[in-house]
Structure 1
Amino acid sequence: MRLLGALLLVIALTTGAPPAAADPRWEFYTDDTTRYGSPWFHGRHRIMIPFGCTRAPYYSPDPRCRRNRGFHHGIDLAMKCGTPLTAGRRGWVVGTQGLGPAYGSKVLRIRNFTHDWDVVIGHARRVLVEPGDRVLAGQRIARAGANAAPDGCHLHFEKRAIRGGLSTAGRPRPLLDLRARR
């Protein structure tokens, strides 16, 4: 019996099977089954929806994309509700006016003047900082959630120009500093 349990564990770890507490609403719109770590969150998690053109049904067709696909302006990483989110870099918490309801009512925007970016973190279960707060790298800032998200608990991570709108969203992956599980 122990041998069977050990064998099943090895199969689950090597096939990229979802964790036991997977959210039943998760749907992955990428073939990437790698689990990533990052200074922005605890644990190792899979990408649900990558940055750029996507077949995920939540986005309106975008002229940048072929086959009538929509454009996703951030990266969504599937993670258990309540997963601690930490500041991967230092910055200032700023207001979230103008972001709209798609990010949920618990959204966070961190600004870094030195490197000229804003980070938008959406769908949080709980935000632990408020506008005007200075955050340091490694500081706990929020908990992952599914606030206004149709696809379960996850981290939505977006990089924009300072004070920029959706049209200024750029590739967030380098700032997210994803590291593959070894």
Structure 2
Amino acid sequence: MRRLGALVLALLLAATLAGPARAGDPRWVFYSKDKTYYTSPWFQGAHRIMVPFGCTTAPYYSPDPRCKHDRGFHHGMDIAMPCGTPLYTRVRVRVVSNDSLGPAYGDNPVLLRNRKKHFDLVIGHTRKVYVREGEMVPKGTLFARANDRGAPDGCHLHFEQRSVGRGLSTAVWPRALLKLTPRKKT
């Protein structure tokens, strides 16, 4: 009985000390100096930004004339999170065909549209998707889970905000749409 108690105590202590940074995917590489953990109504938990929107040192992007020092341009925001992290709709959205999205978004990306708020939201590297093309999805609905498909640097989600029905060239900084909020220290 004493051994069982000691084992339970050791497991609880290890879980407490591990924290989100130590429990992360060993493949994660952060191309941002931002060490803040953010919450969002779009996903469960608090997570760090791996690759921010805009010019980046991440090696996956071809040099872009908008960027200095031969850096590439990232049209979305990659947020590191464990595989299986639940994703929720923040507002009412319609699921749109993902046929126009290439393999860089993984094999199961989600394209959500809200005409009233004037956005399309591409979410790359999703796993199990619980909604179907054409479906109108109410706010707060669990619609998918995070994955690492098509992501060489571990489990994360790619969030990309575009103009309604438009392409990659209309992508803008998705931070406001995601309602990223720094996690309060406890």
Given the two structures, how large is their TM-score scaled by the length of structure 2? 0.88
Q: In 2, Cα distance between the equivalents of 1:82 and 1:75? A: 19
Secondary structure of the 1:18 match is helix
Q: In 2, Cα distance between the equivalents of 1:136 and 1:39? A: 13
Q: In 1, Cα distance between the equivalents of 2:81 and 2:117? A: 28
2:142 is aligned with 1:140:
yes
Q: In 2, Cα distance between the equivalents of 1:52 and 1:110? A: 22
Q: In 2, Cα distance between the equivalents of 1:142 and 1:69? A: 32
Q: In 1, Cα distance between the equivalents of 2:171 and 2:39? A: 22
One-letter code aligned to 2:110: L
One-letter code aligned to 2:35: T
1:123 is matched with which residue: 116, 122, 125? Answer: 125
Regions of 4+ moved over 4 Å = none
Give the match for residue 21 of structure 2. Answer: 18
Give the match for residue 158 of structure 2. Answer: 156
CA drift of 1:23 comes to: 0.8
One-letter code aligned to 1:165: G
Secondary structure of the 1:85 match is strand
Secondary structure of the 2:21 match is coil
Q: In 2, Cα distance between the equivalents of 1:151 and 1:88? A: 27
One-letter code aligned to 2:157: L
Paired residues, what number?
173
Structure 2 unaligned regions, length at least 5: 1-8
RMSD over aligned Cα atoms: 1.8
One-letter code aligned to 1:19: R
Q: In 1, Cα distance between the equivalents of 2:49 and 2:80? A: 6
Q: In 2, Cα distance between the equivalents of 1:171 and 1:108? A: 18
Q: In 2, Cα distance between the equivalents of 1:45 and 1:18? A: 9
Structure 1 unaligned regions, length at least 5: none
Secondary structure of the 2:73 match is strand
